[in-house]
Structure 1
């Protein structure tokens, strides 16, 4: 089974702060890569109610099905690659392909046949090594909205948090409570109903 614990810190940015960081880290437009997240849940949000999220990410010609589950202060991710020819069928309502992800969903007592495609979010992303971790700048497009986000991934929670907060302070960027992309996507979707 392909599982990992994700230790990640995130902060929403204004457009001006996003540009400031691009300049500070000498990022070029050509450094950005596009990826798209396709989000899934049941109609009554059973995954969300279990503090879980399900997506298929298309990145570098590969589709990866990922279940994210709350695990202490972190996120437990279960990954499964899916074939390119299966992806459009899943978007159209075919059940999820069997594997590690569906096994974990069944442990939550959720019928995988009830899971449906609910929408997508496209990200222009640049990843930079930074102080024993990975710094990520994202420009996210979803439901007619654009937001900007800084993420920092680290192998160590305390050291990662310190590095992240020091970076924000050094650039005069206020700490903002930042929900995950899928939370922001669903909040925007609910606001449009």
Structure 2
């Protein structure tokens, strides 16, 4: 499946303002467990198990990216739970792509998500993400057909900007993990 989404990192005040501007569904929680190489290197492929009413192994391979727009090929399958290692053979079978190493579990990111579904063919999601002693706020617009220009214009009138390159949750998680590992190795933070 091809996933097309626009991502915007929000301040807490922007998050609260958007919360009052749309009729959101009840919030729910999902947990992403992120996998990578043993040296914390963040590559472009996302490998995670998502816990939300069951468990799904999800692999996202970048297709295209420009500023806040992210397009990825997504593969997923139901799994029994969270494991410590996902073998490269398993990933190759799921995606029909080549992987060079097994992926190991590095940690989790907990998202409290609210959804707004009143526009045909697209979904707005407002997220509070908590990971590695950090909290951030994010708006995601997932769409299937044409770029949602009318909605973008409406949100721009609310002073949101869509012309910045935004890292996804996985990249922000690994960036934080890497910075914590560097602090730990330097003796600054134990």
**TM interval, short-chain normalised:** 0.7 to 0.9
Picking from 149, 155, 159, the partner of 1:172 is: 159
- Post-superposition CA distance 1:46-95 (Å, at most 9, x none): 7x44x2110000002x10001100113410001010014xx3xx13x4x4
RMSD over aligned Cα, in angstroms?
A: 2.3
Q: Tell me how far apart the structure 1 counterparts of residues 157 and 118 of structure 2 sit (CA, whole Å).
A: 14
Q: Are positions 1:136 and 2:125 aligned together?
A: yes
Q: Tell me how far apart the structure 1 counterparts of residues 48 and 154 of structure 2 sit (CA, whole Å).
A: 30
Q: Are positions 1:103 and 2:93 aligned together?
A: yes
Q: Which runs of 5+ in 2 are unaligned?
A: 66-70, 182-190
Q: Are positions 1:57 and 2:50 aligned together?
A: yes
Q: Which TM-score applies when normalising by structure 1?
A: 0.80
Cα 1:72–1:174 change in 2 (3 A) is closer
Q: Which TM-score applies when normalising by structure 2?
A: 0.81
Q: What is the count of residue pairs matched by the alignment?
A: 174
Q: Which runs of 5+ in 1 are unaligned?
A: none
